[in-house]
Amino acid sequence: MTCKEYIFKLTSGQLVDAGLIERFWAGQHRLMCRRCRTFTTNDEKLGKAVRAYRAHLDGAPKE
C-alpha cells in the first residue's frame, strides 16, 4: 500500500468498512511509514476537535 492509497482510504472512511486483509495492510503501512502515522494522529485530533465544536454548538443557546 502506498501513502497515497492509505491517506485516501483513511480520509474517505474506506478503512472503517474494509475487510481484514485491507486493514492488515493499512496497519503494516502505518507501522513502517512515519509520515502516515503522523497524518493519522493529526486526523484523529482534528476529528475530535470538530466533534467537540459540534457538541458545543448543539449546546449553545438558540437566538
Per-residue b/e over 1-24, b at no fewer than 16 CB within 10 Å? beeeebeebbeeeebeeeeeeeee
Q: pLDDT at residue 62 above 90?
A: no
- Name the grid cell of 11: 480520509
Nearest to 36 by CA among 62, 11, 12: 11
Q: For the full predicted model, state whether its pTM sits above 0.85.
A: no
- Name the grid cell of 40: 493519522
Question: Residue 3: CB partners within 8 Å, gap ≥ 6?
Answer: 29, 33, 35, 36
Give the model confidence (pLDDT) of 11-60 as tens digits: 999 999 999 999 999 999 999 999 999 999 999 999 999 999 999 988 86
